[in-house]
Amino acid sequence: MARRTDIESILIFGSGPIVIGQACEFDYSGTQACRVLRREGYRVILVNSNPATIMTDPEFADATYVEPLVPAVVERIIERERPDALLPTVGGQTGINLTLALSESGFLEKSGMKLLGAGIEALRLGEDRQLFKRAMVKAGLEVPESGTAKTLTEAREIIDRLGFPVIVRPSFTLGGEGGGVVFNRDEIDDVVSRALQSSPVSLILLEQSVLGWKEFELEVMRDVADNAIVVCSVENVDPMGVHTGDSITVAPQQTLSDPEYQDMRDDSFTVIRTVGVATGGSNIQFAVEPGTGRRVVIEMNPRVSRSSALASKATGFPIAKIAAQLAVGYTLDEIANDITGKTFAAFEPTLDYTVVKIPRWAFEKFERADGTLGTSMKSVGEVMAIGGNFREALMKGLSGLELEAAWPQQEELVSDPVSLRRRLSTPNWQRLFAVFAALRQGWTVEEVAGASSIDPWFLREIESVVECEAELACWDLDSVPDPLLRRARLSGLGDQRLASLLGSEESQVSREITRRNLDRVFKRVDTCAAEFSAITPYLYSTPGVEDEALPTDRRKVMILGSGPNRIGQGIEFDYCCVHATFALRRAGFETIMVNCNPETVSTDYDTSDRLYFEPLTLEHVMAIYRREQPLGVIVQLGGQTPLKLARSLEAAGVNILGTSPEAIDLAEDRRRFGDLLAEEQILLPANGSAASLDEACQVADEIGYPVVVRPSYVLGGRAMSICYNQPTLLNYMRRAADVSPGRPVLLDRFLEDAFEVDVDLVSDGRRAVVCGIMQHIEEAGIHSGDSAAVLPPYRVSEADLDRMRDIAVRLALRLGVVGLMNVQFAIYGGEVYVLEVNPRASRTVPFIAKAVGLPLVQIATRVMVGETLDEIGLVSEPPVDRFFVKAPVFPFDRFHGVDPVLGPEMKSTGEVMGVGRSFGSAFAKAWLGAGHALPDCGAAFLSVNDRDKKALLRVAERLRDLGFELLCTAGTAAYLSSRGIETRRVNKVAEGRPHVVDYLINGEVGLIVNTPLGGESYKDDMEIRTTALKFDIPCVTTISGAMAAVDAIEALRESLLQVTALQNLATRSLAGCESEV
Amino acid sequence: MSGRLILEDGSVFHGEALVEGSRFAEIVFNTSMTGYQEILTDPSYRGQIVIMTQPHIGNYGAYDGAEESHRVWVEGFVAREFTGRRSGLGDVDLGVYLETNGVPTLAGIDTRAAVRRLREFGAMRGMITSCDRPDAELIEQVRRQPTMEGRALVDEVTCESPYDIEPEGEEKVRLAVYDFGVKQNILRSLVRHGARVTVLPARTPASDCLDLGVDGVVLSNGPGDPEPLHGIVREVRELVEARVPTFGICLGHQLLGLALGGRTFKLKFGHHGGNQPVRDEESGQVSITSQNHGFALSAESLPEDCKVAAVNLNDGTVEAFKAVGRPIFSVQYHPEAAPGPHDAARLFGEFLDVCVQEAGPGNEAL
């Protein structure tokens, strides 16, 4: 077989904004697909609404549309580009759902596009659980007993037949969203209704429970000649009942015998052939009953997935890239294995190491969220670790997680013997720590296995870590015998942990380990267990006698990545790290990437010259630094993860490139930074700190309410709150004091109703150039990451913009910034205030880079290695000739019972960009891209606080003029009526029925404008917003948001949305920043 | 108890002797991630110490039914870690099994470093030991050991006398299997497809075999170098000339090749694992196969009337050949798997079909 010549252009969908269950793994897979298809000479057309992706960099496709992934918009793109074929399988669930929608409307057929990879029938079979099950049974495979229901009554009948517990799975949702387990009669209504609502087709599958069975996944690939291989087997440490995205997993599978595994492998081929995935990869899940070995098929994804990204990183076999090649006609035996350079993709990788993936949750961000785990995914990111054995990989993974309280502190939090059994038996995010605690408290492996259903093999490995630690605790650093220290290393215990067990210091342990010749060595991930030599330096550390790092003597730079995705630190920083490596490679440097997040482009083995898949801890980073001896290390691009290390790295003699850690610290130190601003005569909101309750009240009185309060030790808006009066401050203080005894809280005057503005710039130390200015659409007080924003600003005077430019440039030069800097301003009462300065890459960088058409990070990186902005050719602020709106997306639908209200603490997982010639059309697209439908007529519900009433008037008038009926609560209705606007009054929840929520549930409202009313109305607000979220009714919580929404509705009314490829926007070319592909 | 793995190039790897003892043997590595018990009991490993590349060995213990012969054959066993206590369906912990079977076993070795050495320098003589004699002395001793070339190991593993196995279900054909160290799963696969099987000792004369009136002959796998087995090659040639359908597997494949006039050679470090890609030259289809061999047939040496039917995708070596116009087919890999993928399992059914067809009434006139 060979490359298809009957097609010339191929359309690819990205997966849109980062959400739980769909993160940057699809940037990784989409980037691979775009790259390889272009190399094969196809014209690639890409649609993805997420600007913070590498794949949407203009050089990765021939036509890149940063546009909403909705049928109406995509159809326009297809009409314009007329692609010959569509590859629907690299854009996650979004790509599949969009393809199915295009097919159902008949558009797909009409367009004449050929489907590559998997046809509509295969996509449907993979998604429709009932069809899938029927096909499996027909093919002779066993599946759990089940039935489908479209109503509650049908569901009850099926549950009667199946018996409890029953797994409820909605069709066509992402990451198990809306699914759950029904354990008793009381739970039926709640779980089933939620599932029915979350399925776009109101179809759910009720399935006999296989809770507690062992869970496995196979990553299978098939080519057009019907060759099939298994790339990787994965075993879930958490048994069935926990979504695989929330499970700790290990590769390769550990507990199946050869016949058990090979039979499963045979079944996986039956599945992929039965479903009819013609070419490409699929993820197939099985459950195996412990004790009997009985095996059932659970599900399959006929596309690349989070698991396939993990499998790619775990094995060195690039599934997405090869899937794309298979899709255009190549067979597995025609595709070279990049890692060995002399073998082919037609083989099965074999591992001589162990890989562990641990999910990263963000429950600390959602106070009322339920920390138990089930069939609906809740984690926001993951770390992968490679070790010489399971223990080492597990412990490395834990050290890469960067939890606020790290293991073993986490273990202490869950070690209460009374609740231990529950913590083991009910899956929850801290269960691993409970396992450690139980084993340490003398539970036997069998007891823990009995409570948790975790396979004893994994528990014995953990037990052996616990035993090793207990032994270590009997020694000190000088006397501890070599064999025990060696065992500790094999158990994955790091210097820090050893130091605490041996009563020593991390640095001393590190020296002693070296003295005793017990340093880890670096081994290569090579797909073949060393059977062939590896030409690709993809490395991990482990104890051993032979080091394979073989550093070169080239000029090289080390880039520290951003670790697991979290809320506030995600794909944006990976984007920055990847751009740094692009720029440095082009400038002739060797690049060394260090990261532990398997979902990313940065951990693709061919992104950098050398990849170290290691936790971003001082110990591991220093080991790589010592081995590689780079010119320097870049820490300012990977978010907080590398920044936290900057000072200790510097102290250890590491050359930090770009802005000094001292300057970064200075900007974070509020007292010193306040002094600096005072010297420069730059305004900062009034502020103070308080170590006691009384003091806090005193400070608040001095600076005036409302105040923003936060504990002094956190970053990224954690535990921040706005207090309007003393009672709320007291309430906050009582809670904050619990969190951080003895530590002061910081109080700032909250600049209510201010406009907030983000300014991003690049500085080479002598010259600083502003690159982009964004205005927040939400008012002050909402975390910048959660606020919709627009570039260029649309309601800020040129004079104010100039004042901000001037301040930003002055600060950059004063701080000695070499690289990127972000400043957040507030315009309040005619004055410009500085809220925050981040002398490093910020989340906004990729968005701005895309909007202004400049590779900002590449410029910054070149500056860091010594070039000047003059030399690069960036001397003035780039012009923008469109509107670019950023809209965030939130994970609230994952956290039942959590109030979806915004504040100073960031809650969003991702963002989209809307591009338009007018602000309204850009906002409309951003809104669509974020997954909301805007009404073009109907009723709008308005309920605002007194402060907002005046501003609401204009919104109400315009909505009225657009023909909307206005539903208002008493106060708002009275105000608007007094200004001559006709409204219909509706009851608040407490005022009796029918009340506002009834109207929402009945679908009578198309738009909600609800600004926080405070006080007793809090409960009302929460119910309204929760309902809005549940029924996907657009809900804006600020007046500026409401204005933008009205603009957008007008834009939608006036014309169909125009689509534009990035390549057609003005881009500016700079010396040395040519295409990377 | 500390132990060492010593290679003839002078490298010494220190580990822990899980089962004590000292053995000299050829050192090979196996990249299968599962199936250690099948490997331990595979007679083809006679004379070899096996390094497993998968770091965790013993996870699911040892159990009845995983054995490929009546005893453990590997001379010594090496891995990074052995699981102390089994999980899953095993009957006994692997450590106990190894101890009971007296297999010197080393844990805690940087197996990847050892494998890289073998990859670079080729299969080597070596030893595994828990003794405390000095390295230099042991290296000297290793270098005095015989190499694999020229050793007739088959005689050490074949059965003493013929025996029969009943077919499962209805008897379709009658087969003879030459036992050069046959793996049980070859026999199980044949029987499952309805063959009545007579297992013959390696040195059984062709005439005795033909006298049984079998419908086909299977030449089994086995250990070591085929070259010194001149006597057996002679008998195989006689079988081939009798036009009895013949199916060679691994060593049997090499012997068949030699009987037809081909030559064999020693591979640098052999193929030992469950992920070897084999491409069928006719269909282009790739099977992922289980392999375990240190010698191979040279393609150029095969006579004109033999056609290379499949090659190894990695190194292009002969994986299967067919004799044109004669019911002779043979594969270098292991269609019986055990351990390894089942991709080629259909070959047994296909061979039986050929036997049925050849024995059929329409063919009697031939």
| Residue pLDDT, tens place only, A404-452 | 777 778 888 888 998 999 999 999 999 999 999 999 999 999 999 999 9
Query: What is the spatial order of strands in the sheet that A43-47 belongs to?
Result: A63-65, A43-47, A9-13, A85-87, A114-115
B59 touches chain A (CB under 8 A): yes
Task: Give the mean pLDDT of A831-838.
Answer: 94
Q: Which of B29, B110, B275 minimises the CB distance to A544?
A: B110
Give the per-residue pLDDT at A1054.
Answer: 75
Task: Give the mean pLDDT of A133-144.
Answer: 96
Per-residue b or e along A76-86, where b marks 16 or more CB atoms closer than 10 Å to that residue's CB:
bbbeebebbbb
Ranking A667-676, A815-824, A849-858 by mean pLDDT, the lowest is A667-676
The answer to whether the peptide bond before residue A994 is cis (omega within 30 degrees of 0) is yes
B162 touches chain A (CB under 8 A): no
A584-634 pLDDT, tens digit per residue, is 999 999 999 999 999 999 999 999 999 999 999 999 999 999 999 999 999
Sort out which chain B residues have CB atoms less than 8 A from A352's CB and list them: 31, 53-55, 111-112, 115
Ranking A422-436, A510-524, A636-650, A718-732 by mean pLDDT, the lowest is A718-732
Pick the residue of A260, A463, A490, A531 with the most B CBs within 10 A to test the interface with B by mutation.
Answer: A531
Percent of chain B exceeding pLDDT 90 equals 93
Sort out which chain A residues have CB atoms less than 8 A from B279's CB and list them: 333, 346
Q: Which of A290, A346, A353 minimises the CB distance to B277?
A: A346
* Residues of B that are catalytic: 250, 334, 336
Determine the Cα–Cα distance for residues A896 and A876; give it in Å rounded to an integer: 48
Give the per-residue pLDDT at A945.
Answer: 84
Tokens describing residue A975: 């105000």
Determine the Cα–Cα distance for residues B265 and B317; give it in Å rounded to an integer: 11
CA distance B351 to chain A (A): 21
CA distance B273 to chain A (A): 9
- Is residue A1055 left, alpha or beta, with left meaning phi > 0 and alpha meaning psi from -120 to 50? beta
Q: Which of A254, A331, A531 minimises the CB distance to B59?
A: A254
Q: Which of A252, A258, A460 minimises the CB distance to B35?
A: A258
Give the per-residue pLDDT at B366.
Answer: 41
A225-253 pLDDT, tens digit per residue, is 999 999 999 999 999 999 999 999 999 99
Give the per-residue pLDDT at A829.
Answer: 87
User: Taking a contact as any Cβ pair under 8 Å apart, which residues of chain A between 450 and 509 contact chain B?
Assistant: 455-457, 460, 490
- pLDDT above 70 for A978: yes
Q: Which is nearest to A1011 in space by CA: A958, A1047, A978, A968?
A: A968
- pLDDT above 60 for A118: yes
ipTM, two decimals: 0.97
CA distance A300 to chain B (A): 21
Sort out which chain B residues have CB atoms less than 8 A from A261's CB and list them: 34
Judged by CB atoms closer than 8 Å, whether chains meet at A344 and B285 is answered as no
B113 touches chain A (CB under 8 A): yes
- pLDDT above 60 for A740: no
Q: Which of A229, A342, A457 minimises the CB distance to B288?
A: A229
Determine the Cα–Cα distance for residues A956 and A488; give it in Å rounded to an integer: 68
- pLDDT above 70 for A638: yes
User: Taking a contact as any Cβ pair under 8 Å apart, which residues of chain B between 324 and 343 contact chain A?
Assistant: 337-342
Task: Give the mean pLDDT of A148-163.
Answer: 92
Give the per-residue pLDDT at B48.
Answer: 97
Query: What is the spatial order of strands in the sheet that A687-690 belongs to?
Result: A687-690, A745-749, A707-711, A721-723
B63 touches chain A (CB under 8 A): yes
Judged by CB atoms closer than 8 Å, whether chains meet at B88 and A533 is answered as no
The conformation of residue A727, written as its DSSP 8-state character, comes to H
Percent of chain A exceeding pLDDT 70 equals 96
The DSSP line for B30-63 is E--SS-HHHHHT-GGGTTEEEEE-SSEE-TT-B-
- pLDDT above 80 for B362: no
Percent of chain A exceeding pLDDT 90 equals 73
A509-562 pLDDT, tens digit per residue, is 999 999 999 999 999 999 999 999 999 999 999 999 999 999 999 999 999 999
Tokens describing residue A454: 């975790």
Task: Give the mean pLDDT of A337-363.
Answer: 95
CA angle, A788 then A794 then A796, to 5°: 105
CA distance A1048 to chain B (A): 56
Q: Which of A1, A261, A352 minimises the CB distance to B34?
A: A261
Q: Mean pLDDT in chain B?
A: 95
CA distance A222 to chain B (A): 11
Distance, first Cα to last Cα, chain A: 26
Neighbours of B140 (CB within 10 A): 11
Specify the pairing of strand B173-179 against strand B195-201. Answer: parallel
User: Taking a contact as any Cβ pair under 8 Å apart, which residues of chain A between 182 and 221 contact chain B?
Assistant: none
The type of residue at A89 is T
Q: Which of B119, B288, B342 minimises the CB distance to A348?
A: B288
A352 touches chain B (CB under 8 A): yes
A39-62 pLDDT, tens digit per residue, is 999 999 999 999 999 999 999 999
pLDDT band for position B19 (cuts 50, 70, 90): very high
**Dihedral (C-alpha) B32, B38, B41, B46: value to the nearest 10 degrees?**
-30
Task: Give the mean pLDDT of A503-512.
Answer: 95
3-state helix/strand/coil string of A1025-1039: HHHHHHCCCCEECCH
User: Taking a contact as any Cβ pair under 8 Å apart, which residues of chain A between 617 and 646 contact chain B?
Assistant: none
- What residues contact B97, with CB distance under 8 A and at least 6 apart? B37, B61, B62
Pick the residue of A226, A237, A258, A528 with the most B CBs within 10 A to test the interface with B by mutation.
Answer: A258
B131 touches chain A (CB under 8 A): no
Three-state secondary structure call for residue B293 = strand
CA distance B362 to chain A (A): 35
Sort out which chain B residues have CB atoms less than 8 A from A254's CB and list them: 56, 59
B146 touches chain A (CB under 8 A): no
Residue of A nearest to B273 (CA): A350
Three-state secondary structure call for residue A501 = helix
Are B53 and B114 a contacting pair, CB within 8 Å?
no
Q: Which of B80, B275, B338 minimises the CB distance to A350?
A: B275
Per-residue b or e along A256-273, where b marks 16 or more CB atoms closer than 10 Å to that residue's CB:
bbbbbbbebbebbbbbbe
Sort out which chain B residues have CB atoms less than 8 A from A233's CB and list them: 33
Q: Which is nearest to A208 in space by CA: A133, A136, A271?
A: A133
Judged by CB atoms closer than 8 Å, whether chains meet at A258 and B38 is answered as yes
Task: Give the mean pLDDT of B156-184.
Answer: 97
- pLDDT above 80 for A173: no
- What residues contact A160, with CB distance under 8 A and at least 6 apart? none
Determine the Cα–Cα distance for residues A659 and A680; give it in Å rounded to an integer: 20
Give the per-residue pLDDT at A794.
Answer: 82
- pLDDT above 90 for A1055: no
Q: Which is nearest to A779 in space by CA: A446, A1039, A492?
A: A1039
Judged by CB atoms closer than 8 Å, whether chains meet at B341 and A262 is answered as yes
CA distance A257 to chain B (A): 6
pLDDT band for position A472 (cuts 50, 70, 90): very high
Give the per-residue pLDDT at A739.
Answer: 46
Residue A652 CA neighbour count, 13 Å, CB half: 21
- Helix (H) or strand (E) segment spanning residue A671: helix A670-679
CA distance B93 to chain A (A): 12
